[in-house]
């Protein structure tokens, strides 16, 4: 019963019901629980949002686009905050312990899962933290997205404990202290629901690339100027850029932001307790189930809103699939050209076209809820990506003709298994190694929150 998904439960009943909670991550004597029982109870209730989808199975083409990176191994849709520590610990993306003497994955991966991250940054220094290994700090992680991630601990006052978020807002000249209270609320979410990269010259510390602004164009300019890339694509040799959940960026340019409707309005609306006192519902999750409290002030019909959202989702999804198809072809066409002896001067424009198109596709694709937050920008990003990858393919066609390249071989990517095979990744082997690590390390030595939901 406990593990029943709240969302699927809602689909059956059509009403909001809170399931009883038996296990919460914090100890029962938590001072915040005593002082703010409703906020605590609703915060803990994200544990009922246990559903998550296997995105690589839904869109196997993304395995090809992310080939050469850990994203191609496992990528799931987000679920309730209570699972954040367990999910990052157990995904194939974060792998297993690294052999002694090797560097391994940065502890920066903990940054947006737990208040222990800003605590450790204080203790170790920001770069001391990011220079540490992800697995080595596993035993230090004892709580999951918690009160102190958004509040001065023990109070209702909002706070922004993550240095990367403070730095980013300084870059756009809107420091936290100068923000309206509505913006401060959204900003607490924007610490984590924002795009970032690990800064190689600063020991992999988390950095938000907003020097020129926070649109896809601005961020691309920043990366291009710095000649930055996350990895070299093994098929096409493209220096790849990776977007990560830019929900804050997309929302900030939306019609809702213009009228001061924030993440908090929709995902944490006001609720009333048994005594009639108002409080903020801390069960961050599906917003439409709060239609009456979150949307009805401005929108008349829930049915109409739902059908508008469904339509936006369908249209954006269809366009994203089209971009993926074109990008996969482009990666293999580039490979055929390289194999036939193409040179960088011949290939430069095409490779940059692939880089820029894939960046825009990812900036749309990685933004969870884009169809609800800013569908107009979603369409604009994908339209531009289609243009860029089409241009790139035209150049590749010309190059191929010029050097007499053979026909590109497009692999079968109709399923996740087929696409994994195409990039030479054996999921069962990776899973076996991960399972052993979970048994020997996580389940023996880490806090139980690293096992929530498993």
The reply on whether position 77 binds ligand HEC by CB under 6 A is: yes
Say what angle helices 344-365 and 216-225 make with each other, to 10 degrees.
140
Residues 6+ apart with CB under 8 A from 343: none
Least CB distance from residue 154 to ligand HEC, whole Å? 8
The reply on whether position 188 binds ligand HEC by CB under 6 A is: yes
Residues 6+ apart with CB under 8 A from 370: 250, 316, 364, 377, 378
Stretch that binds ligand HEC, among 163-171, 292-300, 346-354, 389-397 (CB under 6 A): 292-300
* Residue position matching structure tokens 């019901």: 17
Nearest residue (CB) to ligand HEC, 93 versus 373: 373
The reply on whether position 211 binds ligand HEC by CB under 6 A is: no
Stretch that binds ligand HEC, among 92-100, 196-204, 221-229, 289-297 (CB under 6 A): 289-297
The reply on whether position 129 binds ligand HEC by CB under 6 A is: no
The reply on whether position 5 binds ligand HEC by CB under 6 A is: no
The reply on whether position 165 binds ligand HEC by CB under 6 A is: no
The reply on whether position 283 binds ligand HEC by CB under 6 A is: no
* Residue position matching structure tokens 């307790």: 273
* Per rule CB under 6 A, count of chain residues that contact ligand HEC: 68
Residues 38-57 that bind ligand HEC (CB under 6 A): 39-40, 43, 49, 52
Which of 72, 109, 132, 150 is close enough to bind ligand HEC by CB under 6 A? 150
Of all residues in this chain, which one has the CB nearest to ligand HEC in the complex? 369
Residues 228-247 that bind ligand HEC (CB under 6 A): 247
Residues that bind ligand HEC (CB under 6 A): 32, 36, 39-40, 43, 49, 52, 77-81, 83-84, 87, 112-113, 145-147, 149-151, 156, 181, 185-186, 188-193, 247-248, 251, 255-256, 259, 261-268, 279-280, 282, 284-288, 294-295, 297-299, 305, 308-309, 368-369, 372-373, 375
């Amino acid at each position: 019963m406990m593990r029943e998904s709240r969302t699927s439960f809602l689909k059956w009943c059509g009403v909001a019901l809170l399931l009883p909670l038996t296990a919460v991550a914090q100890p029962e004597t938590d001072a915040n629980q005593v002082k703010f029982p409703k906020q605590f109870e609703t915060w803990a209730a994200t544990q009922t949002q246990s559903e998550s989808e296997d995105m690589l199975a839904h869109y196997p083409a993304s395995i090809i686009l992310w080939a050469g990176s850990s994203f191609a191994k496992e990528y799931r849709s987000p679920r309730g905050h209570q699972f954040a520590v367990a999910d990052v610990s157990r995904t194939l993306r974060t792998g297993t312990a690294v052999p002694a003497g090797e560097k391994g994955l940065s502890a920066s991966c903990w940054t947006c899962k737990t208040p222990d991250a800003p605590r450790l940054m204080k203790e170790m220094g920001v770069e001391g933290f990011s220079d540490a290994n992800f697995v080595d700090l596993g035993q230090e992680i004892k709580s999951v997205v918690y009160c102190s991630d958004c509040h001065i601990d023990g109070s209702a006052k909002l706070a922004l404990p993550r240095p990367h978020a403070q730095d980013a807002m300084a870059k756009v000249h809107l420091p936290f202290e100068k923000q309206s209270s509505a913006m401060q609320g959204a900003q607490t979410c924007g610490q984590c629901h924002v795009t970032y990269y690990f800064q190689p010259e600063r020991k992999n510390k988390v950095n938000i690339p907003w020097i020129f602004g926070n649109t896809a164009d601005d961020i691309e300019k920043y990366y291009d100027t710095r000649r930055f890339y996350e990895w070299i694509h093994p098929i096409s040799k493209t220096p790849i850029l990776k977007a990560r959940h830019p929900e804050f960026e997309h929302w900030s340019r939306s019609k809702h932001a213009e009228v001061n409707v924030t993440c908090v309005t929709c995902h944490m609306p006001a609720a009333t307790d048994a005594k009639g006192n108002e409080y903020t519902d801390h069960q961050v999750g599906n917003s439409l189930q709060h239609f009456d409290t979150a949307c009805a002030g401005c929108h008349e019909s829930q049915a109409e809103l739902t059908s508008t959202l469904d339509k936006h989702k369908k249209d954006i999804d269809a366009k994203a699939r089209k971009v993926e198809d074109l990008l996969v072809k482009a990666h293999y066409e580039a490979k055929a050209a390289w194999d036939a002896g193409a040179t960088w001067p011949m290939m430069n424009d095409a490779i940059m076209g692939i880089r820029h198109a894939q960046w825009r596709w990812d900036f749309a694709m990685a933004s969870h809820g884009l169809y609800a937050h800013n569908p107009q920008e979603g369409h604009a990003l994908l339209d531009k990506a289609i243009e860029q990858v089409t241009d790139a393919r035209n150049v590749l066609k010309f190059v191929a003709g010029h050097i007499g390249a053979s026909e590109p071989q497009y692999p079968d990517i109709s399923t996740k298994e087929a696409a994994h095979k195409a990039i030479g990744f054996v999921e069962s082997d990776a899973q076996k190694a991960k399972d052993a690590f979970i048994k020997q390390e996580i389940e023996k030595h880490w806090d139980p929150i690293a096992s929530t939901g498993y």
